[in-house]
Structure 1
Amino acid sequence: MTETTLELGYALDTFYFLMCTALVMFMACGFAMLESGLVRSRNTVEILTKNALLYAIACLVFLVVGYNVMYPAEAISSVIPGLDFMLGSDNSVADISAGEGAPYYSSMADFIFQAVFAAATMSIVSGAIAERMKLWPFLIFAVAMVAFIYPVEGYWKWGGGFLDAMGFQDFAGSVVVHMAGAAAALAAVILVGPRKGRYGANGEVRAIPGANLPIAMLGMFILWMGWFGFNGGSMLKVASVDDANAVARIFVNTNTAAAAGMVAAALLSRALFGKTDMTMVINGALAGLVAITAEPLLPTAGLSAMVGAVGGIVVVLSVLGLDRLKIDDPVGAISVHGTAGIWGILAVLFSNPDATLGVQLIGTLVVFAWMFGASFAVLWIIRTVMGLRISEQEEREGMDLHECGMLAYPEFVAASAQEAGTPKPGKRPAASPMAGMTAQKGA
């Protein structure tokens, strides 16, 4: 292969990698829209601010230390990564001409791609603890999460650690990213507790409607689009016929799983509630995307549809189950990313001959134990030092006023109703996001 051909392939693979990075970065907007649509209007500004700041903090912290923990120059062992700071120089022409094993894309492109993955993992936590966790304790936790907690388990699989050596198969992160974020979210939700009024004394689930369901639907479609970069970019290359065909197959399988997950969740919600719950439809699509993320390359389109459909069914049942356990997750993040992520990692067995049930289970349990345990410990320390939860008055009046000093919809919400945290007289809340139908069924 000539030097010119090598350089052209390097440039094309790098460009493709960067375009996929842009798609994944746009998922930050998707998370922000989805979450702001599913919370009450008096908490909109806070959750938007939180999503913007967590993205900025994640990128900075991953630049300073997180990336080098996940991909250490010299690891201490297959369990303990090394520690280094900042980024080195990029590849040269001599590097890419070095023969077998030479880099075929820019190391800077790899960094920024992994940085937006880290931010996406942290975004999963954001929605689960919406409407009751203080802003700055959350951001402090984001620093620990992106600097150390997430990169360590990422190293175990993607940085050449012991899970990779065992043969744990997770193509783009059903467990390494999505279930990992859900495990951290579960720890936070347990420590913070449910929103006031969410559950009755006799176990009934009370609907808490979101403020803007059209924005929530927009967030879902942005996330769906971003997933093409999430899964497609994890192919890492596109500059040959085989690689280009593989990327196209990943796009088809990713889209198919999302569509099947959405339809399956819609059918199940109709069967269970007698209504088609839009929030279940949204999370069905996202669950299908999470499920196929573990292996979007090898399945046929038909198998991808099955994986996505089961993901859509699993997420509905998981949302209802967590509500019975009084685990309050306003956007269904733990179910979408956690439960569907576990299903996705097991579904790898249907198409990847290198996957074994024992190793897939061990990898899943190890990642869950680390992410939940480390997150719980850090959050417990933060709670002890400065607290995690807002006061009852702040929760009643809204986080926007107390955390950010402004309202998202000042012209459209009467000030008295906003401050009291109640709907305007004579107005009934809109359809409930997340298990709204559960409350109607008396669950």
Structure 2
Amino acid sequence: MDKARLFQDDRVGNKVYAHAIDDEPWWRRQKTPLICAFCVTPVVSQRTAVGRAPRGALFRLAKDRQHENVCPLNPIEVLQKIAHGSQGVAVIEGDELHLVLPDDLGQIGATTPVIDTAPADNGDPFGTSISTVRPLLPPLINSAVVIVRFLQKHDYDPDVVAQFKVRRPGEKTAVSWGEFCHGPTPDDQAQLFTRLTRGPKPQHPVAVYGRITEVKPDSQGRPVLHLAAGKGFTVRIRSDHPSLLAPLTAGTFVLAVGTWKIWTPHRGRPELQMYAEEHWQLAHWTYDEATGHSSRPACPPPLSLAQRALQQARSAAARKPGPGKPARLSPKPPSPSGPPTSAAPTPDASPQVQVQPPSAPTPTPTPTPTPTPTSEGSPASSKPTSIARPVMPDATPPPEPTPPAPPLPPLPSTPPRPTTPPRRRTRRSWWPFSRRR
């Protein structure tokens, strides 16, 4: 805990804060009795540890003591409230609360948000009420926000943190809370940096909890959230939608849940970054460590229809095959109905048609123009002619009037025609002499 109250002569006195413990205040030198800030359970002060196991100054419960049932810092009551409103993603096992993690981020957003029927806790300056973050959040995110804020009230007391654990996808054995939520110190975030660089990488969404130190625009003018820098790397939150990061300012505490990765720029230190795509990935609130006042948690507004259309277009463009990948073949267009025009059919595939010889053979048949068909469709007129001439078959049969037409018969052999000599170009000097003057 970060605050307590003096208890002298069976009377409740003023509040005292954990940040003054290392300065040896008078109540610590005189060993004045202390109680919880929200109930009458005795507590003791603990200084900052010096050595290999650093810890923060805080107030801890006295030995063999528990908070009262009505106290908002009672872990048993808080665990019951979280499990009751989690829609099954948080279960109680003994004196522990297990948060069940999904395989990917899409499963978190697909769940139904928690409907908050409790009154707003605007009148609670310490923010100890357990309520749903507005706009409505998925059950897992809302449960994680409540747990983090509860641990913040206890200054991440190891004994209190040990009561919260997580179950990874496909596993029944619960692991520590630090496997899912990394924070609030840079050393906690360095553990995630080591997991992503050296492996094995987490197979589930992870969360980073910390305080925003500054907000700076990137090269395209979009805001970028900077968290406390670790040793050799920085922690930043980015987004293609500036509206998701606009409500968050410097000094705000944030819980960012999503897919984290390592990005190494050409110049500068490596970056532990996350790209926010949905409003429920970022829950933020303010907390004053000196006074213990806490604001109601909130999250950015959801994406608009135009932003979702842009997001879907970018996702579709990312799924298209690159230049090195073969594109899908388009279906073959149907062939046109009708006789082929580019090549004649082979003799094996077409039926053999016998051509009748002329009735009166001549020594050298000369091609004659085909007579114009009459209205009945006969090749010659019904009137007799003075000279009977044989009718030769045309070099190319007329097209069939009704499709589809049968395949064409093989063409008869014709003597080769003499090649025509190329036409000489007329000289321009000849033209003036042919004009009339």
TM-score, L = length of structure 2: 0.22
Would you tell me which structure has more helix in proportion to its own residues? 1
Would you tell me which structure has more strand in proportion to its own residues? 2
- Kindly name which structure, 1 or 2, has the bigger radius of gyration based on alpha carbons: 2
Instruction: Flag the structure with more relative contact order, 1 or 2, with Cα contacts below 8 A and sequence separation at least 6.
Output: 1
